[in-house]
Amino acid sequence: MALKPLHPCNYPGCRELTRERYCEKHQRRKEDRPSAHQRGYTYQWSKASKAYLCEHPWCAECLRHNKWTPAVLVDHIKPHKGDPRLFWDQSNWQGLCLRCHNIKTASEDGGFGNARRR
C-alpha cells in the first residue's frame, strides 16, 4: 500500500511535515482539549449568551474605535480556564463581532503563528 505524501502540518505556523492533518505534537494537543460541552458551553450558556447579546448588541472592541458593528457572540474578557465562577460572571463578558473575536482568540491561544499569551 502506498503512503500518503508528506505535507506541512495544518497547525498555524508549524512547518513539521506529516502524512496526517496535524503533526504528532499538534494532534495530541488537539485530542487533549475537552469538548465545548465539557468546557461549559451548554444549552444554559446558549440561552444566557443570547440574552446578553440582546442587551449588548454592539461589538465592544469595534465601539472602542467608534465603529458600530453588530456583536454575534459573547466572549470571556479574561479566559475562564474551567473556573465556573469566572465563566458565569457577566462582568467578564463582552459582545464581539466574529472578526474581533478571531483576532483576540488567535492572539491569546497562539493561532496564526502568534506566541501564546500566559
- Model confidence over 92-103: pLDDT tens digits? 999 999 999 999
Full-model pTM:
0.68
Q: Is residue 118 part of a domain?
A: no
pLDDT of residue 105: 87
Residue 107 has pLDDT above 70, yes or no: yes
- At 73 the three-state DSSP class reads strand
Tally of domains in the chain: 2
* 18 in the same domain as 72: no
Q: Please give the pLDDT value at position 81.
A: 85
- In one-letter notation, the amino acid at residue 58 is W
Domain that includes residue 19, residue range: 1-33
Q: Would you give the distance in Å from CA 69 to the centre of its chain?
A: 19
Start-to-end CA distance of the chain, whole Å, equals 45
The pLDDT tens digits for 35-66 are 888 888 899 999 999 999 999 999 999 999 99
> Which amino acid appears at position 92 of this protein?
N
